[in-house]
Amino acid sequence: MPVEDASTSPAIPLARWASRQLQAMALAQDSRALAALDGPTLLGERGSNGRYVIAGPVSAGLGGSRLLPTRDGGWFALTLIRDVDRELLPALFGDPDVDTGDWSAIAEHVLRHDCDHLVSTGRTLGLPVASADETPASPPVTVLQQGLRRDRSRDQCRDHRPLVVDLSATWAGPLAGHLLWQAGMEVVKVESLTRPDLIRRDDPFTFDRINQGKASLLVDFGSGAEKARLVELIRRADVVIESSRPRALRQLGIDADALVREVPGLVWLSITGHGATAEAANWTGIGNDCGVAGGLTRAMAEAGGGIGYVGDAIADPLTGITAAREGLAALREGAGRRIGLAMSAIAAMALAEERAHDEAALRAELLAWGLARGKPFPRVRPRPLRGEVRSLGADTARYLGAPVRC
């Protein structure tokens, strides 16, 4: 879909990279639906609909993430979108009297500390933080567990559609599920009874576009019986998408590695902020700060555009596209595997690949974005819905009741 008002709004950097990935997936899958998608739309439709403005060191939308200067000349990205995050600020700064509701007061405290100290302390506390000058701790894509192969050409049902169980929330994981749905798969979105996907309420426009066509399940994770039925559904699946840290997944009673070993051909996509193994597995990461950790802010500064956020939570859509690409490739191979996807490293990978593809064009886009403070995000035409948006829990009984048979 063409971008509107291109004369007044700069292109989102890395949108061309996203378009190339989508076209490669469409070609490999022979999918007209995937071929109709493009990077500017997937990276920009949320900001376009929300009438976002490019705000430099303040993230787009509600401004829940800020880039703040530190004592040693660094730039510290801090995301505060949950009440619990603000409650952790006294521990981050070592000051019980910090005004956690005042960004100016928070900035003053940041300026009293070195950047690496704040990042290390923040991650230990569970805060989504980053440095503009860090190197991602994990590879962008990692095979975490190998499983048995499955020859899908022998599936007994001629009209078999691969089943995707989407346990993720917000943007990256649901976007991956959306792309798999576009590729013709049956996608089931699973939400927690106590913590349904907040984007359903907070951003229904985006929710509808990346969750259209998916069945909706509501699960009480406090019920052993319901969790057992969910695991049985997973055992019938071809793909699972989740975006939980390892500890949270274990608390749900789901052993991803064991399921991948036991279910032939099961493809499991684990999306994390910074990696699924070692210390980085416990770090919290959100799209804006993960983009900073991936080097996008520093790249924009080096291009002459100054310090600021690139795009809108850009690591989310970059990761969603990458996850779908990896999942489709594994399905074609018939390979059972659990694949780890680290958002900060994927942002770094996309940046490096775009530099190799056309460094001059990328540099010009970063410069234009950095100099466009106060201008609106590029406008894109809203995508019409091709599938129904199911009400919360509408399909729970269908999928968690008797097994579906061919």
Write the DSSP string, 34-96: HHT--HHHHHHHHHHHTT-B--TTB-STT--EEEEE-TTS-EEEEE--SHHHHHTHHHHHT-T
User: What mean pLDDT is reported for the chain?
Assistant: 94
**pLDDT above 50 (res 3):** no
For the segment 234-240, the average pLDDT, to the nearest whole number, is 97
Domain range list for the chain: 3-54+137-281+305-400
> Per CATH, which fold does 3-54+137-281+305-400 belong to?
Rossmann fold (3.40.50)
DSSP-assigned letter for residue 391: P
**pLDDT above 50 (res 56):** yes
- Which H or E run contains 174? helix 172-182
- Tell me the pLDDT tens digit for each residue of 269-312: 999 999 999 999 999 999 999 999 999 999 999 999 999 999 99
- Tell me the pLDDT tens digit for each residue of 127-153: 999 999 999 999 999 999 999 998 877
**pLDDT above 80 (res 406):** no
**pLDDT above 50 (res 184):** yes
- Which H or E run contains 357? helix 343-370
- Which H or E run contains 341? strand 337-342
CA dist., res. 238 & res. 145, Å (int): 15
pLDDT band at 244 (very low <50, low <70, confident <90, very high): confident
DSSP-assigned letter for residue 289: H
pLDDT at 251: 77
The DSSP code sequence of 5-25 is STTTSPPPTTHHHHHHHHHHH
**In this prediction, what percent of the chain has a pLDDT beyond 70?**
95
pLDDT at 403: 43
Residue 389 has a CB neighbour count (10 Å cut-off) of 16
**pLDDT above 90 (res 154):** no
